[in-house]
Amino acid sequence: METLQDGSERDKTTPPSSSSSSSPIPVVTSFWKEFDLEKEKSILDEQRLRIAENQENSQKNRRKLAESTRDFKKASPEDKLGMFNSLLKGYQEEVDNITKRAKFGENAFLNIYQKLYEAPDPFPALASIAEQERKLSEVESENQKMKVELEEFRTEATHLKNQQATIRRLEERNRQLEQQMEEKIKEVVEIKQRNLAEENQKTLELLKDREQALQDQ
């Protein structure tokens, strides 16, 4: 427990360790959303103007009291009796004004202090955000590299596919040429076989003719 300047006590128990391991961002975000910084700045600005106005009035009153005090010192004993009550009243009023200004300043301070006392330290949240930004930047950089590599792989794959298509076309052309060659060889063999058969037939006929001629003699 901690005693504040207004005499109140506030629990300052350390939160459980389980919460410290969680992300501080939601806690910080929730607090500052409810805190409404712009509204508090507007209130502080009004208080600042009032404090400045009070300081200016205080300076005027002190100068007036200083003049009244000098006049009182210079006055004759008879006049001092008449001036004393007025001067005393002026000092009492200024003391009251100083007390009011001090109270106003204290209340203004305690008001913002009590609100900020519960404020979570924004540094862990900011550090967490910065770390997330760093990791996100690394992921984006790695993702960009992977995109480049993927595009290179796609280009290479397309090139390989083109090569494979060319190989398939060449293989098909080679198969066609081999088939045509086989057909040509087969055709040539058939022609030679026919020619050979014709020549053999002619030779047999010639031999038969000679044999017949010999018999006729």
Same structural domain for residues 29 and 89? yes
Each residue's pLDDT tens digit, 120-175: 888 888 888 888 889 889 989 988 999 998 899 888 888 888 888 888 888 888 88
Do both 105 and 6 map to the same domain? yes
What was the pLDDT predicted at 88?
86
**Does any domain span residue 163?**
yes
Per the CB < 8 A criterion, the answer to whether 54 and 154 are in contact is no
Residue in 104, 112, 115 with CA at minimum distance from that of residue 50: 104
Tell me, yes or no, whether 69 and 145 share the same domain.
Answer: no
Residues 92 and 144 in one domain: no
What is the predicted pLDDT for the residue at 161? 85
Residues 106 and 184 reside in one and the same domain: no
**How many structural domains comprise the chain?**
2
> Which has more confidence, 1 or 131?
131
If asked whether residues 54 and 146 sit together in one domain, one would say no
The pTM assigned to this predicted structure is: 0.43
Quick: pLDDT tens for 92-134.
Answer: 888 888 898 889 888 888 888 888 888 888 888 888 888 888 9
* Domain extent for 194: 140-217
Domain boundary among 88, 120, 152: 120
15 occurs within a structural domain: no
Residue 12 DSSP symbol: -
Query: Is the pLDDT confidence value at 41 over 80?
Result: yes
Residues 115 and 144 in one domain: no
pLDDT at 178 > cutoff 80: yes
89 vs 92: CA distance, rounded Å? 5
In a domain, 126, yes or no: no
